[in-house]
């Protein structure tokens, strides 16, 4: 993740920072909670436009608070859930393209139909960032008012409401959840890279928190800091907080790739490309609707460093979950931080594996650790994965790391392992061989890979691989060694290979 598009991050953040500096004197909580309750009864109409979509190409039909006829006209079905999309801060007063992709995916990608709505608060979001932040509370109040009115006039239950908020819209959802009156909470809130500036580190009542709905999930995709600020909020704000690729920055969003994008789509693509990592949260969610049978798995982990070592692929006691719409809605008291790797484009799913390779180094010299592996599965084989360990192998050590595959290779049955250090190491090897001519063949000499242990995250299967023949335990530079399963009997294995 080196060479980030500093320029773009910088520009986006400049706007944020500038806004927040200006905002300081404005105060951040002019629309207080108590005032919101007072004015709730009086709310006759909303500044937010609420739209319903009847089919995937529909541009929306406006429903109006206290106008039951609009519900009927727009095809609201009170026996179905309501999924409402809430956009974020606007820099151009246009509804962003992802909204239509999300509407289409919700309309076409679900086995159970839902009412799909949009809270269009562009007139309040196309403001200075700080002003938009202030307006977020007002819009939250209007969303809450709409839901209460639906309960009163259409026998609709708030537990059937799912708010999906992007960026600042995530906090709008949180405010809606906390402003709604009564003990019952709304059903679910999904936060798509909830906005960071002016929310990071604030108290739970001033941002989205797990208290705001029966179930809250969040996807964090752009939390890389610049001058102490990040576009997306870093801290956990949900029952399940997903950090794809660590959450800082997303694959495919690097400057070079962005330049290609601009070449292809012209200068109009610039604002789009600035938001690449931020908006990735949306596309991961849309992907979960479009590829429901191939959900992306994520695993609870303390940090990205441990995740990259493959140490966190466990699923016991609810430690893993699926990202997106079809998440297992199991409530936890505390926020759980889940990590996953993704591809750079849809379908984003990858298959996670932990590889634990036990090396025994009998060479005098440390070994420069570059290897390649070819993985053979029951469905497919995966060509050449290069592994570079971050330290030299000096003596006996077991290395653990995360390997991700874009395709499902089925059950892993064979590994071809090659020590890649070319000419330099061939020479060293030959030197070793001449200096110490082996009199009786010792069982281990030179560099030996004893076992390769593999854990597959997606299937939770554990496997052990050993060298095909015991004679050939030493690795020779550039020579490929075959490792086969040694944790099951060969009959069973042959059956699987068939």
Q: Under a CB-based contact definition with an 8 Å cutoff, are residues 456 and 412 in contact?
A: yes
Peptide bond into 436 cis (omega under 30): no
Closest CB to ligand NAG among 80 and 436? 80
Closest CB to ligand NAG among 77 and 309? 77
Closest CB to ligand NAG among 44 and 112? 112
Report which of 398, 376, 378 is spatially closest to residue 389, judged by C-alpha positions: 398
Residue 212, annotated as binding a ligand: yes
The residue from 74, 231, 340, 360 that contacts ligand NAG (CB under 6 A) is: 360
Query: 193 an active-site residue?
Result: yes
Count of residues that bind ligand NAG according to CB under 6 A:
8
Residue 120, annotated as binding a ligand: no
> Which of 19, 90, 162, 193 is flagged as catalytic?
193
The residue from 17, 31, 80, 436 that contacts ligand NAG (CB under 6 A) is: 80
Q: Is 398 in the site for ligand NAG (CB under 6 A)?
A: no
The residue from 184, 395, 460, 479 that contacts ligand NAG (CB under 6 A) is: 395
Query: 167 an active-site residue?
Result: yes
Least spacing, CB of residue 114 vs ligand NAG, in Å = 10
Least spacing, CB of residue 441 vs ligand NAG, in Å = 15
Q: Under a CB-based contact definition with an 8 Å cutoff, are residues 87 and 166 in contact?
A: yes
Binding piece for ligand NAG, criterion CB under 6 A, among 57-65, 74-82, 98-106, 298-306: 74-82
Least spacing, CB of residue 435 vs ligand NAG, in Å = 20
Strand 336-340 relative to strand 61-63, pairing: unpaired
Strand 336-340 relative to strand 240-244, pairing: parallel
Q: Under a CB-based contact definition with an 8 Å cutoff, are residues 150 and 52 in contact?
A: no
CA-CA distance, 387 to 362, in Å (whole number)? 21
What string marks each residue from 276 to 315 as x (binds ligand NAG by CB under 6 A) or -?
Answer: ----------------------------------------
CA-CA distance, 220 to 340, in Å (whole number)? 11
CA-CA distance, 220 to 241, in Å (whole number)? 7
Binding piece for ligand NAG, criterion CB under 6 A, among 76-84, 162-170, 209-217, 284-292: 76-84
Q: Is 79 in the site for ligand NAG (CB under 6 A)?
A: yes
Q: What are the binding residues?
A: 207, 212
Q: What are the binding residues for Ca(2+)?
A: 207, 212
Residues recognised as catalytic: 167, 193, 278
């Amino acid at each position: 993740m080196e060479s980030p598009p500093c320029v773009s991050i910088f520009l986006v953040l400049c706007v944020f920072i500038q806004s927040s500096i200006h905002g300081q004197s404005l105060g951040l909580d002019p629309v207080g909670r108590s005032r919101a309750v007072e004015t709730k009864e009086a709310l006759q109409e909303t500044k937010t436009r609420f739209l319903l979509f009847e089919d995937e190409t529909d541009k929306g039909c406006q429903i109006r608070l206290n106008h039951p006829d609009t519900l009927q006209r727009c095809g609201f079905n009170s026996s179905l859930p309501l999924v409402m999309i809430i956009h974020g801060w606007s820099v151009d007063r246009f509804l962003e393209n992802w909204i239509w992709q999300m509407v289409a995916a919700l309309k076409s990608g679900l086995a159970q139909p839902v009412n799909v709505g949009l809270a269009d608060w562009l007139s309040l979001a196309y403001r200075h960032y700080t002003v938009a932040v202030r307006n977020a509370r007002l819009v939250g109040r209007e969303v809450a008012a709409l839901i209460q009115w639906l309960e009163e006039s259409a026998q609709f239950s708030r537990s059937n409401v799912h708010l999906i908020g992007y960026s600042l819209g995530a906090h709008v959802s949180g405010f809606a959840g906390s402003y709604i009156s009564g003990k019952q909470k709304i059903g679910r809130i999904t936060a798509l890279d909830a906005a960071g500036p002016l929310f990071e580190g604030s108290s739970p009542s001033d941002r989205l928190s797990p208290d705001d709905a029966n179930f809250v999930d969040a996807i964090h995709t752009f939390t890389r800091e610049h001058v102490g600020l990040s576009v997306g909020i870093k801290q956990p704000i949900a029952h399940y907080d997903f950090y794809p690729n660590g959450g800082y920055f997303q694959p495919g969003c690097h400057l070079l790739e962005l330049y290609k994008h601009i070449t292809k789509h012209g200068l109009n693509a610039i604002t789009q490309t600035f938001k690449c990592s931020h908006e990735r949260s949306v596309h991961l969610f849309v992907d979960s609707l479009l590829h429901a049978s191939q959900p992306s798995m994520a695993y609870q982990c303390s940090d990205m460093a441990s995740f990259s070592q493959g140490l966190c692929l466990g699923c016991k006691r609810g430690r893993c979950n699926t990202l997106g719409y079809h998440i297992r809605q199991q409530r936890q008291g505390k926020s759980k931080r889940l990590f996953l790797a993704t591809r750079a484009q849809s379908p984003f799913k990858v298959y996670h594996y932990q590889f634990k390779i036990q090396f025994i180094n009998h060479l005098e010299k440390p070994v420069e650790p570059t290897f390649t592996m070819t993985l053979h599965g029951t469905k497919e084989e995966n060509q050449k994965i290069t592994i570079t360990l971050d330290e030299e192998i000096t003596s006996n050590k077991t290395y653990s790391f995360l390997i991700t595959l874009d395709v499902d290779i089925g059950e892993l049955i064979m590994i071809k392992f090659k020590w890649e250090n070319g000419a330099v190491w061939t020479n060293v090897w030959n030197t070793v061989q001449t200096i110490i001519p082996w009199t009786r063949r010792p069982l281990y000499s030179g560099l030996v890979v004893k076992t390769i242990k593999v854990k597959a995250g997606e299937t939770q299967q554990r496997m052990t691989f050993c060298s095909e023949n015991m004679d050939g335990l030493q690795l020779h530079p550039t020579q490929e060694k075959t490792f086969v399963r040694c944790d099951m009997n060969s009959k069973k294995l042959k059956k699987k290979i068939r």
